[in-house]
Amino acid sequence: SLPVDLFPPRQYFVLTEAGKPVFVRCAFGTDDSPELTATMGIMQALISIFADDNDKLRCINCGKLRITFLLRPPLYYVCASSWGEPESITRSHLEYLHLQILSVVSLAQLRRIFERRNNFDLRRLLDGAENLLHSLLARVDEDFAMTMSALHVLKVDDRLRKRAGESLQPPSKLKRDILYIIVIANGRVVTVARPKKHSIHPSDLHILLNTLHSPSILNSSASASWLPVCLPKFNPSGFANVYVSRQRGDFETGTGVALVCVSAGGDFEAIRGWCDLIAKKLTDDNVVAGISKSIQTGTVRYSVAELSIPGLRHFVYKSRLHVQVTVPMYEDPYDVVENRRRLVTLYQAVHDNIHAKSGQKGQLKLQYLLTEKESIMGWITQPFELYIAMSPLVPKSAVINAANAVARWVKREEGKLFLRNAPVF
């Protein structure tokens, strides 16, 4: 396998316009160490030099190292990476970091605070939220749903998903106050009900899922709890109230099932009472038991072997109609972390080229890459977007045939892999 230092951990920095540290994930120094203070001072100075010329610093390339900047005043976000991924990928990581911070301190609060005091220490308000930011950064490394602005739903029997969805219709008197009702399990969405007038933005859902899987909630002894969460794509200036009702199962090992109700206000007690009734119905109708059993027996995951396509090692399929992705398990050789990171980085490069995200002249419909280790193909059509990895020994024609075979298999299994008819109210 490859030497580990080919993919050293990416380093992330969040600082204020005044150069004060907000959050750091780096290999040197603590929040108040002289090295870090000096580094942040240099970052702030570089950004200011470009700003003085009415320009924005986007990135610095230094050999294999790329330092990407995202300016979201009053905060600056920086990522240093030598993985070789496109600039658009680290930029999306920084955008997610920004959204996760806004989920704790809304944009309106941030602006108000820094208008009054531009040297305010934001770490005081983010105390306890560091775990959320660290877990988010662990997710973005390999989560294709986040990269592709899509949802990765739990693979379950279509009838079980339908039964779960049918239980989520709120009574008329609560419809005005409820934004979304979501059943989640194993870190993924099983089904989501929403008002007719708006849909949930994938970024808000990723931020919500990351928040719900924080240690403080996972390890809580309470069976239900309320959380204030700002969903920045829905409303960056206010907070939604999130009621989480934990059903049977162990959340740390991922077999737990939870009912999540997101409201914009209204009568807390009435919403809680209704959610508890729905939670009971999901249990009584054996929906919770069915989902838990699917997780315990491993049917929520699948292997590329199920497709019986010679030379196929892995793939990522996005349904453009449902804005959802499906991905098989990582198996040999990608069960080794360095090989997996190489694969993910190759997928990201092809995705970036197909969508012309880093200044390319135009978008592509198809791209084929052949390396010593694997052949990769990215293909975008009206109904789907597909990235596949195969043995480097198979000819290009076999890769194209395999891509068609994957698309046919996904179409057959669509009911299990995707949430197709999400309930609306």
Cβ-in-10-Å burial (0-12, 13-18, 19+) of 368 comes to middle
* 136 Cβ contact list (under 8 Å, min separation 6): 96, 97, 100, 207, 210
Output the pLDDT for position 248: 62
Lowest mean pLDDT among 107-116, 221-230, 235-244, 332-341: 221-230
What confidence tier does 28 reach under pLDDT thresholds 50, 70, 90?
confident
Residue 13 has pLDDT above 70, yes or no: yes
Mean pLDDT across the stretch 195-210? Answer: 92
Q: Residue 382's CB: how many other CB atoms inside 10 A? A: 6
Tokens of 35: 């090295």
Amino acid at 19: G
What confidence tier does 251 reach under pLDDT thresholds 50, 70, 90?
low
Lowest mean pLDDT among 39-48, 94-103, 220-229, 289-298: 220-229
Question: How many angstroms separate the CA atoms of 262 and 179, rounded?
Answer: 5
Tokens of 275: 């959610």
Question: How many angstroms separate the CA atoms of 347 and 105, rounded?
Answer: 34
Domains delineated in the chain? 4-141 (3.30.450.60), 158-296 (3.30.450.30), 304-417 (3.30.450.30)
Mean pLDDT across the stretch 202-207? Answer: 96
Q: Which residues of 245-281 are buried (b: 16+ CB within 10 A; e: fewer)?
A: bbbebebeebbbbbbbbbbeeeeeeebbebbbebbeb
Task: Answer whether 358's CB lies under 8 Å from 87's CB.
Answer: yes
Question: How many angstroms separate the CA atoms of 182 and 74, rounded?
Answer: 33
Give the pLDDT confidence of 286-305 residue by residue, as tens digits: 999 999 999 999 999 999 99
Q: Where are the beta strands (DSSP E) in 63-213?
A: 65-72, 75-81, 178-185, 188-193
**pLDDT-above-90 percentage for the chain:** 78
Output the pLDDT for position 247: 76
Residue 258 has pLDDT above 60, yes or no: yes
Output the pLDDT for position 30: 66
Mean pLDDT across the stretch 152-171? Answer: 94
Output the pLDDT for position 2: 47
Dihedral angle sign, alpha carbons of residues 24, 26, 29, 30:
positive
Determine the distance from the C-alpha atom of residue 237 to the mean position of all C-alpha atoms in its chain, rounded to a whole number. 22
Output the pLDDT for position 224: 84
Mean pLDDT across the stretch 314-326? Answer: 97
How does the average pLDDT of the chain come out, rounded?
A: 92
Question: How many angstroms separate the CA atoms of 43 and 68, rounded?
Answer: 11
Q: What predicted TM-score, i.e. pTM, was given to this entire model?
A: 0.93
Residue 216 has pLDDT above 80, yes or no: no
DSSP string, 315-372: EEEEETTTTEEE-----TTTTSHHHHHHHHHHHHHHHHHHHTTTS-SS--SEEEEE-S
258 in helix, strand or coil?
A: strand
Output the pLDDT for position 218: 61
Output the pLDDT for position 252: 54
Residue 53 has pLDDT above 90, yes or no: no
Amino acid at 188: R
Give the pLDDT confidence of 102-161 residue by residue, as tens digits: 999 999 999 999 999 999 999 999 998 999 999 999 999 999 999 999 999 999 999 999
Task: Answer whether 274's CB lies under 8 Å from 376's CB.
Answer: no
